[in-house]
Structure formats: C-alpha cells, structure tokens
Structure 1
Amino acid sequence: MEDDGKEKLQKTKASSGWSDLWKKEDWWAVWLGLGIVFAGILFWSMGGSIKPIAVKVPTWSEFSVVSQFLAENFTNIILLFLVLAGVFAIAIKVLGHKVSDFLKGFIIVFIMSLVILILGSNTWFKAYNLEAPLVALALGLIIGNGVKIPDWMNASLRTEFYVKTGIVLLGATLPFTLILESGPVAFGQATIIAVTTFMSIYWAGTRLFGLDKRFAATLGAGGSICGVSASIAIGGAVKAEQKHVSVAISLVVVWAIVMIFTLPFLIKLLGIAEGPAGAWIGTSEFADAAGMAAAAAIGEQAIRSFTLMKVVGRDMFIGIWCFILAIVSITKWEKREDGTKPDAMEIWHRFPKFVLGFFITSAIVTFLLTSVTADSASIVNSDVIAPIKVLRTWAFIFCFFCIGLTTRFKDLTSVGWKPFAAFTTGVAINVPLGFILSVLLLGSYWSGV
C-alpha cells in the first residue's frame, strides 16, 4: 500500500510537471519570447522584417517631432498593440485570468507606456538621466498611490510576466559566446554576493532580532538572489507563512526602488564606466525589473554586464537555494509528521524557467549570426536583432509602470522594524561588497564586456 501511494504521488508530480509547460507564467514567458524571435527570423528569411511592429520613439526637443512621429507611425502603433495584446491575452486565458479585464487594462498600460517612451526620449529628460524606465516607475508610483486602481486592472498588471518575457528577448541581443566567456566570472562573483548577503540577513534576523528561521530565510533569499521571485520560491520551499512572504516582497520593493535611483546617482558621481557600473547594479539590486531600469539609465553596456551578473549569475541560485533550504527546513525546522523527504526535483520545479529561455534565444541568434556571411550578419542585426531590442524595451516599460501602480507606500510603512533591520543589514554589506568586486577588483574585466 505504501509503495502504491508513492507511485501515485510520483505520477501526480510528473503530470503536474508536464502541465507546467502551459500553466506556469515562467514557461509562457519562454514561449512568447521564442515566438517573437522565430517570427523575426522567419520574416527575415522571406526577405521581410518585423520592423513595422518595432515602434521606436525618436529623440526630440520640440513637440512637432512627436506629432510627426505619431502621424507617420499611427498604423504601426495600432499593429504593435494588436500583436502584443493578442499574444499576452492567449497566455492570460490559459493561465486562468479574465481576458476581457486584461484587454481593458492593457489598453491603459500600453497607452501610458507610449506616453512614457515619448517623455523619456525628450532631450531635457535625458539630460537629467530620467530615462523611460525611471519615468515609468515614478509615474506609476504617483498614479498608484494617488488614485484607487480598479480591481479589473489587476489582470493586466503582470509585472513579472512582462519582465520575464523581456529577459527572454534580451537573450537574443547578447551573443552566446559572451555569456560562455563571462558566465564563470559572473557566477563566481554572484556566489560571493549571494552567500554573503543571505548569511548576513539570516544571521541578523535570527540572532539579533529573533525572527523565525523560515521568515529569515525568505528575507535572505529576497535580498541575495532575485528579489520577488526568490521570496516566493524560497517561502514555498521552507513553508514560510504567507504574511512573511508578503513582508519579504515589500522589503525587496522598498530597497529596489531606493537602489534604482541611488546606484545610478553614485555611478555618475564617481564616474564609473558602464561595464563595471552594470555589474555593480547586478550585484546590489534586489529585483530584475528595478535593476534593468537602473542599468538602462546608464547605457547599453551596463545592461549587458547587469544581465550577465544578475540573470546569468545571481538568478541561477534560486533553484539551488530552494533545494538546500527545503532539505534544511524539512530535516531541521519542521516537524516531519507526514514522513515527507526532500525531493531532488525541487531544484527543477523552482528553477526560473525564463532563464532557460534567455540562453536558448541567445544560442539561436548566435548560431544564425555565425552561419551566414558578414553582409548577411549585418542585415540580421538590423532586421532581426534591432527590432527585438525595441520590443524588449516595450516589455520592460510595461513592467516598470506596473511596479509603480502596484506599490503602495502605506502598505510598506506597516512592515515591522525587525525584518526591515535584518534586511537592511544585508543591504549595508551587499552594496559596498558589490562595489569592491565590480569596480575595484574586477573593474577592468567588466569594462571589456
């Protein structure tokens, strides 16, 4: 009977694993990202391009430029909306959300994102480093905290879905050879950062402030790996209370917002080059979306080094930490009344699948570039990679704006001082350590990325 029960449980897990391919947001980000990349390659192979839907706002100082842009690109903007609304709506439907609510909300998100991209392209905004990602976050915070957001908007405020899709698309703009070359360095630096930051928060939480071990572990994961996703994943792995997971997410958002403005300011003040700057942001930001916004405020090279440091490096740890902490929780922290044992497949179940999508799109585009002539490679860059980069930007703007809309200052102030102090202890160690590693010790390396 016991063997039958185990066999039934294994079959249930296997079935659940296959259904994850269309029932999990991570996988949908992979499918959408890959779909766009394959569409770009297909159109290129037939002598066309996806450029018509890759709407890019030009830099402007006089509004007449904006008026001309809108008049000339009105059809393309509508086409872009229809394509994005269509592909996201399919995913939203399968994921179990109300498509009508999503579409109503997405119209607002899309229009506001267009306004944000227009503002961020203004020469005055650029002069003060107010790039579109920062404008999106700031405007979202103002609206979200000043106006009650209707419940039907929630279906369109898919913050993580947008950023995961954007990161998959980002893979297509980064040569795979660069990832292979920089991966070990990024992973090595990430190991030091992740372990040091996690242990600092966990030690402060349990020893100094008397927090529950599972609560402290969830806080440590949010501060040391990949923010919101890690807090949710680790919280589930160690069976932390839901309110503790919510507190961890709130603290991640607080410090992510602080760092999204602080790190670019310090980088500009200290005159740090783009490569090391992006690596520092990658070690010391607490959320992928916020980190990408901060890196975007610095430049394209900062985006590359940030991605290698954060996505290739730190985000890799989520599966590893989930498995390790699940074992510790089950064997040390929990009463094993049901006789459950650690499951090695926990690593796979908890691993962020969009990271796989990032690698796959990078490998596909790199293979394409290396298999054609130099002249054809130039065309691929202009007709495939460049439009994908524009679509990636749109996905990130959706994300940053939604972060602002869903962040409530009054909710964040209700967090107790002990978890805040524990998390801040990790911040106080993480940021200087990130500077030392990214700028002082490995600065020359990251400058060459």
Structure 2
Amino acid sequence: MSKAVTAALPWHRREDTWAILIALGLVLAVTTAFFLGGARAVSATALSFPTWSDGGKLLGAVGANPLAPLALFGTFLVAFSVASLVIGWDVARYAAGFALLFAFSIVVTALGSNAVLKQWQLETPLLALAVGMLLGNAVTLPAWFQSALRTEFYVKVGIVLMGATLPFTIILEAGPLAIAQATLVAVTTFVTIHLAATRLFGLDPRFAATLGAGGSICGVSAAIAIGGACRAEKSHVSVAISMVILWAVAMIFALPFACRALGLAPGVAGAWIGTSEFADAAGFAAASALGDERAVKTFTLMKVVGRDMFVGVWALVVAFLSVTRWDRERAGAPEQVGTGEIWRRFPKFILGFLAASLVVTVILASVDTGAGTRFSKEAIGPLKNLRGWAFTWTFLSIGFTTRFRELTRFGWRPFAAFAVGVLVNVPLGYWLSTHVFDAYWLAVR
C-alpha cells in the first residue's frame, strides 16, 4: 500500500470530522431547543413506531405526527449533503441513494415494531441486516444507491450521539476497567491470529498483522489502519476486511442467541458482545437485538472506550515491526516511526463521543432534579431516537454491501487463521465478562 493511499486527508474532508460535527450539532440544537422551550419542535423529528399487532394502530401513530418522517429525512439529508459536498462525494447521487435508504429504514423500523416479530426477537437491527443481505445478494444495486451505503460514516454519527446518552461519570469509572479487559482480549487475539497465520498457514507477516488487527481491535478501520502502517498489499487489506465482515455478520446472530440461551444479564451480555464482536456497527446490531439499553451501554463502554482506542497504539507497534524486521531486506534506509503515528491512526470520532457525553453531563449537573428529569425526557430521549435511526442506516448498509460470493473467494488459509482467533476471543470474552469483571457490568444502569 503506497504512501499516497495511506496519506491522511485534510481534517475537513474526513468522515470522522463530519460525524462529530453533525452529531454534536444535533446535541447542541436539541439542548438549545429544550432551554428555549422548543421541545415540541424537537419531537417533530423523533419518529418512532409503537408496538403494533394490527395496521390500524401503526397508521394511527403515523397520523398523529405526519410531519415527523419529512422532518427527520430533511434534517439528515441537509446535514449529510453538506458533508458529502465537502468530503468530495457526488452530492446528487448520494442524496438520491439516501432517500431510498431512508425509505427502507422506515419499512424495517415499522416491521421491527410488530408484536409478533418482537416475540421472535426479529427487531429492527436484525431485520435491517436481513433485508439488506437478501436484496443486496439477489439483485444488482444501482450505483447511485450504493453511493449512500456509508456504513462507517453512519456508525460514527451514531456513536457520537451515543455519547449524549452516557454520563461522563460512567465513562470515567468504566474506562480503566474496559481498557484492562480490552487489553487482555486485544493482545491475546492479535497474537493468536498472527501466530496462526504465520506459523500454521505460512502467510506473510504483514498480512497476518492486518488480519490480527481486524480481529482484535475495531474491525474494518483497524484492518485499514494497520495494513497501511505495515505497508501490507492492497489485496491483503481487502481479504482482512472480508474476514471481519464475514465473522461480524455471523456474530450478529450468534452472540445475542448465546446470551439469551445462557441467561446473561443485559450489562454482562453487552460487555461480552463488546469484547467479542469484530466491528462497531455489527456490535451495535447485536447489542441492540437484546432489546435492553444496558446492553447497548456496556457494549459501547467495552468496544468504543476500550478496544477502539487501541488502533493508534497498534499502528505504531506494527509500523515499528514492519520497518525494523519485516521490511529490513527491502528498506534502503531505516525509517523513523514517531509517536505521531498514534495520533494519526487514532479514531477521532471517539473524541466526539466523549465531548457529547461531557456536554450532557455538565448540563445535568447544572440544573435541579426536576429540570434534569425533563431534560432526560425531552432532550436525551429524542437524541436516543436519532441515534437509533443512524444505526438503522448502518445495519441496512452492512446488509446491502455484504456479498456472500466475495466472502468465500479468498481461499481457506486467511479464514482458518481468523477462525483460530475467534475460537480464542469468544470464550475469553465470555469468561472476562461473566467471571472477572461481571460485578461492574451488572451494576451499569
């Protein structure tokens, strides 16, 4: 992978920047509206569907707030279109694609609210994935629609909005614990995959590092970052991404099923998913499928606060190994691997997540109990709703972009190496979440 490919974009053209700006902008807009008495205006964009068993109740809910779909669509269309323009996407194609994606999200969210489907645990996240994968593999999607399938972008917006629903005090308390659990899992999984890939299956060490990063840190983003740090071949990064997607999609269904079968408490289940899922978007789908906010909170603390922050450190370590060992024969002169590599690879959207949490925490600490209760209902409630829509677009995008044929065309060795890591990661994550750190995860409310 060339330096040109891995060179960082200007800050104003990065997805992380716009995810932060859009999500924090929504947090500040909702907060301002609350203090100016505009809670009714905010509720206009908070589109939700009640649990229904007959179409009349569903239509009645839509009729009670008929402008909500248009307000929600317009708000995000404007924000995403501005981001598209600055980032460099084709705005017209993106807007058309997002309109169709939004329509799909309305359908799957309405279906996910059906009482019968809820009894079968087929709620919005899993339905969005299923619909996306079914259509994405059955028909050829038009290019203009594919331009709106921005999985990483939507999940980053959702994660920053998630920060507004998690008090900063919880993050500070969970930080050391989540990082400790993440360290044990990340190091063990990375080393396992790397050793399996190089010693058992004879893969190139750079390829092994890229696979290991995808399986141990933050999925696709880590595979790209570490692949660039160690100068892995472009095909190696593509294979690593495919392995992440394959196992992440499998775990979306497997982990919630296992959590229910084992009778795990929501907080513990979310921590296990955060430890053993391989991608942020897939993990949110799995945690959301449990239907309990505590699972989503502990997943976020474990995956976002714990594991995702390691990407910069791993990039520095792998870049150093690549320069000093793997590339020694072809390197004409020693390269300098500075600590700035950590910042360059650090997922900046996490800063937005922390900022959103801090803003809401300061507000709640500054008002009396009554105002705090109203703020939680009239401001944080709508922000949770907006977060849910961002994640629904994420889940749909995962489904529409998952190609079963592509996941099976890279041979068995990368799959086998990644599978060895899965066999270590999943039981280790379960043990840490249910026996070592369970007291804390059970206490999260």
TM-score tier by shorter-chain length is over 0.9
Look up the match of 1:377.
372
**Alpha-carbon separation, structure 2, partners of 1:266 and 1:99:** 42
Native 8 Å contact 1:20 1:27 kept in 2? no
* Matches for 1:69-218 after TM superposition, within 5 Å: 69-218=61-210
Give the one of 273, 279, 284 matched to 1:292. 284
In the TM superposition, what is the alpha-carbon distance from 1:338 to its structure 2 partner?
5.5
Q: Is the 8 A contact 2:323 2:334 kept in 1?
A: no
Does 311-320 or 73-82 show the bigger shift? Answer: 73-82
Find the residue that maps to 1:53 and give its secondary structure: coil
- State the partner residue of 2:393: 398
Provide the rounded CA distance (Å) in 1 between the counterparts of 2:12 and 2:81: 13
Instruction: Flag structure 2 segments of 5+ consecutive residues without an equivalent.
Output: 1-6
Kept in 1, the 8 Å contact 2:255–2:273? The answer is yes
Matched, 1:347 2:342: yes
- Shift, 1:415, TM fit: 1.8
Pair 1:40-2:30 in alignment: yes
2: CA distance, partners of 1:446 / 1:22: 37
Q: What amino acid maps onto 1:427 in structure 2? A: V
| Aligned residues of 2:324 and 2:334 also touching (Cα < 8 A) | no
Identity %: 52
Give deviations 1:274-299, integer Å, cap 9, x for gaps: 01100000111000011111101111
Distance 2:173 2:210 in 1: 32
Partner Cα distance (2:404, 2:150) in 1: 19
Are residue 309 (structure 1) and residue 302 (structure 2) matched? yes
User: AA paired with 1:79?
Assistant: A
Q: Which residue of the partner structure matches residue 4 of structure 2?
A: none
Residue 414 (structure 1) aligns with: 409
Distance (whole Å) between structure 1 residues aligned to residue 128 and residue 339 of structure 2: 40
Aligned to 2:314: 321
Indicate whether 1:333 and 2:323 are aligned.
no
1:21 pairs, out of 11, 26, 43, with 11
Q: 1:267 Cα deviation (Å)?
A: 0.8
Is 1:356 matched up with 2:351? yes
Structure 1 unaligned runs (5+)? 1-15
CA distance in 2, matches of 1:269, 1:329: 43
Partner SS for 1:210: coil
Shift of 1:111: 0.5
Structure 2 Cα separation of the partners of residues 167 and 20 of structure 1: 22
CA distance in 2, matches of 1:338, 1:159: 39
SS of the residue aligned with 1:156?
A: coil
The residue identity in structure 1 corresponding to 2:293 is E
Aligned-pair CA distance for 1:343: 2.6
Counterpart Cα distance in 2 of 1:35 and 1:87: 9
Deviation (angstroms), 1:442: 2.0
> Cα RMSD over matched residues?
1.4
The CA distance in 2 between the partners of 1:446 and 1:423, in whole Å, is 28
Residue pair 1:102, 1:153 contacting (<8 A) in 2 also: yes
Deviation at 1:428, TM superposition (A): 0.2
Distance across 2 between alignment mates of 1:132 and 1:119: 7
